[in-house]
Structure 1
Amino acid sequence: MRYRKLGTTGLKVSEIGFGTWGIGGVGEGWVAYGPTDDHESRAALERAFACGMTFYDTADLYGHGHSERLLGDVFKPLRKDVVIASKVGLLDQRGSKDFSPGHIRASLEDSLRRLRTDYLDLYQLHDPPMDLLENRPDVLDVLRALEREGKIRAWGVSVQSPGEAFDLITRWGIRCVQINFNMLDQRALTLGLLGLCESEGVGVIVRTPLCFGFLTGYYSEKTCFEGGDHRVLWSRQQRERWAQGSQIFASVRKDTDESMAQFALRYCLSYPGVSTVIPGMLTETEVEEDAAVSERGPLSAEERRKIEEVYQEHSFFVEREELRR
């Protein structure tokens, strides 16, 4: 496993991290990737650590705290050997939010209790409105206070779309951002965000590197997702577009000994502006497959060029007008 600096936060993380939305499970109106088995989830976390993964990303919202509890169960005796990031502010899947200083403090205490630790390595605002820091300077005040108190080592922002990160970096000096980036969604690259983060020393956490599983090659346009799986909420046209796009990108892959998922993860890690990628993993087998990516290294310049050309020649997002047809 290779490790990278998380910008100028002072944190060093495994370049393959563990996104824990999925292991939070489903229930009480919450959806993720369908039902899970806690025994299997704990085994996956333990295997991830054995494979050298040190970075684990969660949120108070995932499984209404269940994801954090699982991390606490597994990593309490290994706390100094892992980097744990959580999030605050997004209250439910309908988009309700609370970024008040009181809520940030209270939510942190709840997260620390579930994680069975007395500090977080990274605390992230979870999909805040773009004008939050301008309208609520007390948000920055409370985050800085928590850092001084030693309850968090660093803080950052998980943005809804890559374009929202520019103002956070250039105006507010944010040191770490979490963004969407994958072969089917290259906005962070085409907008110049990755280049900006690299030049400014901003840590970049890449979520959805497998585009909700569509870049694993396991799903086709005919795949039916069941209740409890958030992918049922996407339009049929969008699911078809992503499944077809995955097939197109598979044709670029030269090394047929690697899986499509490994190819997709190597693509994200080919850019020096990226600090870590956090695919979701539910089983030990998935963990081992993803962890093996690190030793393979980045894609060649030729492969990246072809991937970027394919992206420029196609549209992988369904526009609203198409949904009305």
Structure 2
Amino acid sequence: MKQRVLGNSDITLSAIGLGIMGMSPGMYGETNDELSMKTIQRALDLGVTMFDTADVYGNGHNEELLGKAIQGRREQAVIATKFAYTPNYESLSGRPDYVKKAVEASLRRLKTDYIDLYYQHRVDPQVPIEETVGAMADLVKEGKVRALGLSEASASTLRRAHAVHPISALESEYSLWSRDIEDEILPVARELGITHVAYSPLSRGFISGELRTFADLAADDLRRWMPRFQGENFRKNVEIVDKIKEIAIEKNCSPSQLAIAWTIANGSLPIPGTKRIKYLEENAAAVDIVLSKEDLLRIENVSPKNAAQGTRYMEEQMTLLEG
């Protein structure tokens, strides 16, 4: 597994990470803790060291699962977790006192005495970012956190946060179908030496090519409520996937691997999520796929910016991406 250094830090981690949100109930259908832990352990065997979780995923279940899975192998793992949402996504808090309360709860669930990368999950519009990051910086001084990150923050917020304490990572959705950050946010992150971490590099599994109809989604799959997976949007997006699949066949790889390789070629660290060892191994192998300028141009032609139909979240959720 190829390695890279996390921005503005001394942390070395794998060039591809593993997003484990889907391993908790209420996210992407049926879950199985035993199989999920085996997937996490297999990731370590493959050299995948970065694991992305959050306190709100499964209301603590996700962190507890990760803590159990890496017991005895903590030194091999780079734990990235997040705070800000209260249980069930009911509210958002970036208050300094909440930051300190949240990190203690995460440390307990993860069964560790430090977190490698601690993100603010979403920017709280009611609390100046300087106050939130100031409290996060205190955690670094106390040795409870090694590096700081923000998730779905704007370019201006990123600059303000970085002025308080070096920001190591910016996590945001980035894939062939979610490229709005290319205009302002990515350039600022690169200017400041911040690693961009791309969640949902497969557009929540759509680009894998395995979803053909709305009926393929389980009854409790949260994607059923996302515009990109509904009605005519779904049908048109499947047509784009089929074109991506043609290029993948020529490159002797899967559509998922092609999409992940595209993300890496654009400078990001992808954290594709999966609950299954089969897909973990497939995704991890994407690190060895080299895309030429001609390959990238072909991909751009079949899936240009804004080609995907439908927004990635419902309208009321999109407003939280403006922090």
TM-score (norm 2): 0.87
- Cα distance between partner residues in 2 of 1:111 and 1:241: 41
Match of 1:167 in 2: 156
- CA shift in 2, pair 1:222/1:142, >3 Å: closer
Match of 1:7 in 2: 7
Structure 1, 219-228 or 37-46: larger mean CA deviation: 219-228
- Cα distance between partner residues in 2 of 1:132 and 1:242: 38
The share of aligned pairs that are identical, in percent, is 28
For residues 150-186 of structure 1, what are the alpha-carbon distances to aligned partners after superposition, in whole Å with 9 as ceiling and x for unaligned? 0001111111xxxx43113333313320011111122
Q: Does residue 112 of structure 1 match 2:102?
A: no
- Cα distance between partner residues in 2 of 1:192 and 1:158: 15
CA contact (8 A) 2:240 2:302 kept: no
- Cα distance between partner residues in 2 of 1:171 and 1:241: 40
Match of 2:300 in 1: 308
- Residue 218 of structure 2: which of 226, 235, 246 is its match? 226
- Residue 278 of structure 1: which of 267, 271, 275 is its match? 271
In the TM superposition, what is the alpha-carbon distance from 1:222 to its structure 2 partner? 4.6
In the TM superposition, what is the alpha-carbon distance from 1:306 to its structure 2 partner? 2.5
Secondary structure class of the residue paired with 1:59: coil
- CA shift in 2, pair 1:300/1:193, >3 Å: farther
Q: Does residue 259 of structure 1 match 2:254?
A: yes
| Matching residue's letter, 2:11 | L
- Cα distance between partner residues in 2 of 1:223 and 1:107: 38
Match of 2:141 in 1: 148
Q: Does residue 17 of structure 1 match 2:14?
A: no
Gaps of 5+ in 1: none
- CA shift in 2, pair 1:231/1:294, >3 Å: same
In the TM superposition, what is the alpha-carbon distance from 1:145 to its structure 2 partner? 0.8
- Cα distance between partner residues in 2 of 1:63 and 1:88: 13
In the TM superposition, what is the alpha-carbon distance from 1:130 to its structure 2 partner? 5.2
In the TM superposition, what is the alpha-carbon distance from 1:147 to its structure 2 partner? 0.7
In the TM superposition, what is the alpha-carbon distance from 1:254 to its structure 2 partner? 5.6
- Cα distance between partner residues in 1 of 2:305 and 2:161: 35
In the TM superposition, what is the alpha-carbon distance from 1:232 to its structure 2 partner? 1.2
- CA shift in 2, pair 1:243/1:197, >3 Å: same
Match of 1:139 in 2: 132
- CA shift in 2, pair 1:313/1:105, >3 Å: closer
Secondary structure class of the residue paired with 2:85: coil
In the TM superposition, what is the alpha-carbon distance from 1:200 to its structure 2 partner? 2.2
In the TM superposition, what is the alpha-carbon distance from 1:319 to its structure 2 partner? 6.6
Match of 1:199 in 2: 191
Q: Does residue 187 of structure 1 match 2:176?
A: no
Secondary structure class of the residue paired with 2:116: strand
CA contact (8 A) 2:197 2:271 kept: yes
Aligned-CA RMSD value: 2.2
In the TM superposition, what is the alpha-carbon distance from 1:230 to its structure 2 partner? 0.6
CA contact (8 A) 1:58 1:67 kept: yes
| Matching residue's letter, 2:288 | E
For residues 233-275 of structure 1, what are the alpha-carbon distances to aligned partners after superposition, in whole Å with 9 as ceiling and x for unaligned? 1241343343332223223336352111111111101123x1x
In the TM superposition, what is the alpha-carbon distance from 1:316 to its structure 2 partner? 1.3
- Cα distance between partner residues in 2 of 1:175 and 1:283: 29
CA contact (8 A) 2:214 2:234 kept: no
Match of 2:321 in 1: none
TM-score (norm 1): 0.87
- Cα distance between partner residues in 2 of 1:271 and 1:229: 30
CA contact (8 A) 1:8 1:202 kept: yes
Q: Does residue 98 of structure 1 match 2:87?
A: no
- Cα distance between partner residues in 2 of 1:103 and 1:314: 37
Secondary structure class of the residue paired with 2:119: strand
| Matching residue's letter, 1:19 | G
| Matching residue's letter, 2:101 | A
In the TM superposition, what is the alpha-carbon distance from 1:314 to its structure 2 partner? 5.8
Match of 2:170 in 1: 177
For residues 174-216 of structure 1, what are the alpha-carbon distances to aligned partners after superposition, in whole Å with 9 as ceiling and x for unaligned? 3320011111122233x15334323321111110001110010
- Cα distance between partner residues in 1 of 2:126 and 2:299: 34
- CA shift in 2, pair 1:313/1:2, >3 Å: closer
- CA shift in 2, pair 1:319/1:153, >3 Å: closer
CA contact (8 A) 2:56 2:89 kept: no
Gaps of 5+ in 2: 316-323
- CA shift in 2, pair 1:130/1:269, >3 Å: farther
